[in-house]
């Protein structure tokens, strides 16, 4: 059997580093940084890690909101979504994730777009 995406990314520690970088990049990103002005970086890094671990086939410890509830009434634009995708690619590159795994992560991320953009 093929390893889960979770295992191929390097498990919980590797994913925690990717999620931490991702949140740092979002906060520093001029296109979306202001969205996180009121956020606690430590808390959202934990939520992002748990969500990513669960979504890649690892243990499910995610206790956060579903994606529609989390982003409802934010009215996130296509440009903001693309900025978040750019940050994700950067975080994956930083962690030396291979092209095949990057494509899988991107695909999963994109399946969540309807619950995030313009809701
Ligand atoms: C498919 C893409 C995305 C995924 C998978 C995702 C994932 C998440 C998760 C797991 C949470 C935590 C939910 C909770 O608090 O229980 C969250 C919160 C949030 N997301 Fe997203 N997100 C995405 C795209 C975006 C985009 C494009 C923006 C805006 C540019 C955004 C802005 C936020 C904000 C502002 C919060 C609340 C942070 C806080 O609680 O302080 N998200 N997102």
* 48-96 tens-digit pLDDT: 999 999 999 999 999 999 999 999 999 999 999 999 999 999 999 999 9
62 lines ligand 1 (CB under 6 A): no
Residue 35 CA, closest ligand 1 atom number: 35
Asked whether the CA dihedral 72, 18, 83, 102 is positive or negative, the reply is: negative
pTM here? 0.97
- Residue 53 burial class via C-beta count within 10 angstroms: exposed 0-12, middle 13-18, buried 19 and up: buried
1 Cβ contact list (under 8 Å, min separation 6): none
Q: Contact 77/118 with Cβ under 8 angstroms? A: yes
C-alpha 109: how far from chain center: 7
ipTM higher than 0.95?
yes
Which mutation among 23, 65, 116, 119 tests ligand 1's pocket best, with the greatest number of atoms within 8 A of CB? Answer: 116
């Amino acid at each position: 059997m093929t390893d889960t995406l979770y295992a191929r990314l390097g498990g919980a520690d590797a994913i925690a580093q990717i999620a931490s970088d991702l949140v740092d990049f979002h906060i520093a990103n001029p296109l979306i940084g202001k969205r996180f002005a009121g956020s606690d970086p430590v808390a959202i890094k934990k939520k992002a890690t748990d969500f990513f671990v669960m979504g890649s086939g690892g243990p499910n410890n995610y206790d956060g909101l579903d994606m529609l509830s989390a982003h409802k009434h934010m009215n996130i634009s296509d440009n903001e979504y693309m900025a978040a995708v750019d940050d994700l690619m950067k975080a994956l590159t930083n962690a030396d994730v291979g092209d095949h795994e990057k494509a899988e992560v991107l695909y999963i991320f994109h399946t969540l777009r309807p619950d995030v953009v313009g809701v």
